[in-house]
Amino acid sequence: MIPSRPGPARRGCGALRDERGSGAVLGVGILVLVAAIVLAALPLGRILAARQTTIGAADAAALAAADIASGRVPGVPCEAAAAIAGRLGAALEECILEGGVARVVVSAAIEGLPLRASARAGPPAASARVGPPAEAPAHRARGAAQPNTAST
């Protein structure tokens, strides 16, 4: 008589099903989910980049208008502001000159979303303080030498 070999072990009520390949299916599912999230985030990234470009266009347009309004550069302030904004992909909506101060509003659109930005350029306001603060705070690093304050 030939001794018999033991067969595969059975657990519980029935044999386990073959689970080979289930990790690959799970991995593919995770990759598809990550790709969907990235593709959904791309338009948001483009919108945020366009917003920063619009803000930069407003800043540049205001600076150009203020330079001309102050007499530092020849030209027409609001025409220069419109030209600068146009080169940066925005349209000048509003240009207000008050003395040497230029206030501009520019707009652009990306993916059907309107973007607006405003900027002011010119000399500081009359109430703005010019120069160093009245009393600067004393900052000392630990272990720094103390100045000699003794008097004779």
* pLDDT tens digits along 64-74: 999 999 888 89
Cα→Cα distances 134→13, 130, 131, 138, Å: 87, 11, 9, 12
More confident residue, 16 or 125: 125
- Segment 127-148 shows an average pLDDT of 51
Cα→Cα distances 1→4, 6, 7, Å: 9, 15, 18
Q: What residue has token string 């483009």? A: 46
Tell which residue, 81, 87, 89, has the closest CA to residue 59: 81
More confident residue, 85 or 3: 85
Alpha-carbon gap, residue 39 to 32, rounded angstroms? 10
Per-residue pLDDT tens over the stretch 103-114: 999 999 988 889
Q: How far is CA 80 from the centre of its chain?
A: 27
Confidence of residue 126 (pLDDT cuts 50, 70, 90): low
